[in-house]
Amino acid sequence: MRKHEGIETVLEQVSRIAGLLWEKGWAERNAGNISVNVTGLVPKKPARGCPPIVDVEKPLPLLEGTMILISATGSRMRDIARDPAGFMCIVRVPKAGSRKPSRAGSDACARPSSELPAHLSVHQFLAARGKAEKAVIHTHPGRLIALSHMQGVNNKGTLDSILKRMHPEVGAVYPDGIGFAPYRTPGTVELAAASVKALESRRIALWEKHGVVAVGPGLDEAFDAIDTMEKAAGIYLDCMAAGYEPEGLTDGQIIALRAAFGQ
Ligand code: 2HA
Ligand code: ZN
């Protein structure tokens, strides 16, 4: 997140990125969810137009005192795009001993996304490692999901290698590649744990047969990682649909790319 940002600026970014997720076709119905660590950006007395604040029930010692802006459960990306404050809420992780009554349940829009466990686990992991990333996106990009159904491709090593060979941009910008989380039921703590493991030092991980989770300093950078990987997946599938297995960048080309980008 950049300096001098307030919650209003973050909500503008949420609106723009939610619109893009919808336009890209990655957000059917209420698919996907967005969160941003907005600690320090929420005024003590939130003004009108600030999303509702909900206290999280579960103790999360590493996130104590943190505020996470997250899409509300059931919200459509196209609705978030036109009214971000109306379809987001702020999850507050109270400091130990300072628990305030939760507003969850009193306001239909104040129930956070069904993927809250994954978002909180990823924010916890980012905070614990002192990372600059504050934004998390989960969405359903069709081509990456299609690859995750392809036997022989749906494993970390093969998927990562295919995407790097399809498009020089992948290896140049994302040398740590894409992580791979084996299928877990949506919304579960098992999916949350698999997400953290798959992300490690990466910007993006594929949730097998479901979607992706990506992180970035801001929502734009998280979006870029998804967009780039989805482009590479599309090139692979377009070649296969045209009836040929793509040659891909050769070993020599990959080595030269790494050297050129100081990796
Ligand atoms: O928010 O995408 O994974 C709906 C989903 C759950
Ligand atoms: Zn999903």
Each residue's pLDDT tens digit, 92-114:
998 877 755 555 444 545 799 99
Q: Is pLDDT at 26 greater than 90 in this prediction?
A: yes
Q: Where are the beta strands (DSSP E) in 94-152?
A: 135-139
89 pLDDT tier (thresholds 50, 70, 90): very high
Average pLDDT for 115-126: 97
Share of the chain above pLDDT 70, in %: 94
Cα of 62 vs centre of ligand 2, distance in Å, is 25
Report the alpha-carbon distance of residue 163 to residue 193 in Å, rounded: 24
Asked if residue 147 lies in contact with residue 233, where contact means CB atoms within 8 angstroms, the answer is yes
Residue of 115, 184, 190, 212 to test ligand 1 pocket, by largest number of atoms within 8 Å of CB: 115
**Res 106: pLDDT:** 46
**What would the mean pLDDT of 129-141 be, rounded to a whole number?**
97
> Cα(248) to centroid of ligand 1, in Å?
33
Quick: pLDDT tens for 220-233: 999 999 999 999 99
State the average pLDDT over residues 59-65: 91
Q: DSSP letter at 145?
A: H
Mean pLDDT over residues 204-227, rounded? Answer: 98
186 lines ligand 1 (CB under 6 A): yes
Q: What pLDDT sits at residue 3?
A: 47
Give the number of the atom of ligand 1 that is nearest the alpha carbon of residue 114. Answer: 1
Q: Is the CB of 73 under 6 A from ligand 1?
A: no
> Residue 190 C-alpha to ligand 1 middle, in angstroms?
15
pLDDT at 57: 82
Give the span between the Cα atoms of 156 and 208, in whole angstroms.
10
Mean pLDDT across 195-216: 97
pTM to 2 decimal places: 0.95
**Catalytic one among 8, 28, 64, 115?**
115
115 flagged as catalytic: yes
Average pLDDT over residues 187-194: 98
In this predicted model, which residue has the larger pLDDT, 95 or 248? Answer: 248
pLDDT band at 70 (very low <50, low <70, confident <90, very high): very high
Cβ–ligand 1 contact at 32 (below 6 Å): yes
Q: What is the DSSP letter of 72?
A: B
Quote the longest CA-to-CA distance of the chain.
Answer: 63
Residue 237 has pLDDT above 80, yes or no: yes
Phi, psi angles (nearest 5°) of residue 209:
60, 25
Best mutation site among 75, 76, 114, 139 for ligand 1, i.e. most ligand atoms within 8 A of its Cβ? 114
Residue-level pLDDT at 97: 72
